[in-house]
Amino acid sequence: MKDEGCFFVFCIRFAPLLYVVFLVLVILGFVLQFNPLLRVAAPGPASVSGRRIVIDAGHGGRDPGAVGRTGLQEKVITLDIARRLKRLFSRVGVYVVMTREADIDYSDVAEGNPVPGELTQKRRDLLHRIRMVNQSKADLLLSIHVNSFPQSIWSGAQCFYDLRYPASKAAARCIQEQLVEKLGPNRRKALAADYMLLKSTDLPSVTVEVGFISNPREEQLLATAEYRERLAEAIFLGTIIYLAEEEGENRAAPVSNLTGKVYPELPPPPVAPGFARLFFTSPYSEDLNLYFEERDLGLTPKDSVLMKAERLLGELQRGPGENSALLPCLPPGKWVTKISLRGKQAIIDVKPELATAVNGGVAAELLGLYSIVNTLAFNLELEAVTVLIDGQKGYSLGGHILLDEPVPPREDLIHQTK
Ligand SMILES: [Zn+2]
């Protein structure tokens, strides 16, 4: 009885002190719980907990992706960053689905085209990943890649989004902003791209190209764990900001009325008679841009569209002129085997070697594809170009952009001189 009374008196006397101790413990708990990263982000983690994302570490197993001068492989970098992202997201209660957690590919797992060969293996792997992503019922897909381009001067991380979902663009912009802020200087902006995985899955999605493995300085950075952690933190923060912002708005829905033209129509060609505009790129391009070179091809109004198309592709395969400051977007040589026309569309067939010659990264692939499409569409007033590889639909020039339907030209990729 005496002891109980003592305890009661003790509690009364030290109640304010106990209250202070309790408060200190609560504050300490908060500080330990949320690491400094989260205190920088405006939105609180409570608003994102319970959300679900898929992280796809680009390439893997038999497919190394782009390879740097030192032999550093894209698949190693993407897997490492994906694992780091999983750790960061799990801390704030975001549920993460990984398409791969080890150095593997799924070319043996998925059913697909029975024709053997590298492209088919890549396609089987892709089909399996698409299935995994679609079954995940996630709010967002983050696909991690490393960029590459023949010109080693190019550098900087860049996000690409799937145009079908406005949420993809919003997420890509948030992530790009953080990548620039945390890892700059970098003047790249989030850009639309028809990535195979992005286009084939039914959720908002972003591909993050974390840097150029073809740039020696960036390759050196990408080889270090410290830089990869900084990349993961920037991607994580951008995604958290996007998820928190989106939480208040309507849930992402596909734009069902985007059946018309997504890109603005190209203006009629104001080129001199007989001349044509050939699209290449520039060694100093700060973003992924096409630049044109005007060349006298001696074209006459009597020439058929098919003949003109053949001439244009011939010139494109020859590359920029002798004194030109521009760079080709595709390897030299004759890679077009067949051209045909159907109304306002062209169908071209290219050698399968072209698909392996386009080196790994999406920069080379995007510019290569649109140098063909824009050159034909702009000069011949076509609406779209279908690219077949060895007579087949649905392949890709380098494993990123799906060629399963006619590709309309993109004016937004053309460098604006202003
Ligand atoms: Zn890649």
217 and 282 assigned to the same domain: no
Averaged pLDDT, groups of 10, the chain, 418 residues long: 54 65 56 45 61 93 92 96 94 90 80 56 82 90 94 92 92 96 90 84 94 95 97 96 79 40 43 85 74 86 91 91 81 90 93 78 86 93 92 79 87 73
Is 169 found in the same domain as 42? yes
C-alpha 310 to ligand 1 mean position (Å): 31
Residues 43 and 151 in one domain: yes
Domain boundary among 210, 231, 248: 248
Q: What is the CATH number of the domain that holds 225?
A: 3.40.630.40
Residue 188 and residue 42 in one domain: yes
* CA of residue 16 to ligand 1 center, whole Å: 60
Predicted TM-score (pTM) of this structure? 0.68
Q: Give the SS3 label for residue 15.
A: helix
In the reported structure, the alpha carbon of residue 222 is separated from the centroid of ligand 1 by a whole-number distance in angstroms of: 14
Q: Which residues span the domain enclosing 215?
A: 33-248
**Domain-embedded: residue 267:** no
Q: Give 209 Cα–ligand 1 centroid separation in angstroms.
A: 8
pLDDT for 76 equals 97
Looking at residue 261, its pLDDT comes to 34
Unique residue bearing structure tokens 């983050």: 142
66, two tokens: 């782009």
Residues 111 and 52 both lie in one domain: yes
CA diameter of the chain = 115
Report the run of H or E that residue 314 belongs to, with start and end. Answer: helix 305-318
Q: Looking at residue 38, what is its pLDDT? A: 45
170 lies in the same domain as 99 = yes
pLDDT of residue 119: 61
Q: Which residues pair with 160 in a beta bridge?
A: 191, 207
Answer whether residue 6 is part of any domain.
Answer: no
Same domain, 68 and 204: yes
* Alpha-carbon torsion (35, 39, 83, 87), positive or negative: positive
Helix, strand, coil content of the chain in percent (nearest 5): 40, 20, 40
What is the C-alpha to C-alpha distance for residues 174 and 235, in angstroms, rounded to an integer?
A: 9
- Locate all alpha helices (DSSP H) within 92-215, ordered by sequence: 118-135, 166-183, 196-200
pLDDT on residue 181: 94
Same domain, 113 and 214: yes
Both 131 and 205 in one domain: the answer is: yes
How many domains are there within the chain? 2
Q: What pLDDT sits at residue 199?
A: 80
Q: Is 260 within a domain?
A: no
* Distance from Cα 66 to the centre of ligand 1, integer Å: 6
The reply to whether 137 and 236 lie within a common domain is: yes
Q: Are residues 46 and 157 in the same domain?
A: yes
Ligand 1 centroid to residue 400 C-alpha, Å = 7
Tell me how far the alpha carbon of residue 284 lies from the centroid of ligand 1, in angstroms.
23
Instruction: Give the Cα separation of 101 and 107 in Å (integer).
Output: 16
CA distance 246 to 251: 7
Instruction: Quote the ligand 1 centre to 125 CA distance (angstroms).
Output: 13
Domain shared by 217 and 326, yes or no: no
Indicate whether 196 belongs to any domain.
yes
For 367, the token pair is: 């510019």
What is the predicted pLDDT for the residue at 34?
Answer: 47
Whether residue 16 lies inside any domain: the answer is no
Residue 305: inside a domain, yes or no?
yes
pLDDT value for 207: 95
Cβ atoms of residues 237 and 35 within 8 Å: no
Distance from the alpha carbon of residue 380 to the mean position of ligand 1, in angstroms: 32
Look at residue 284 and tell me if it is in a domain. Answer: yes
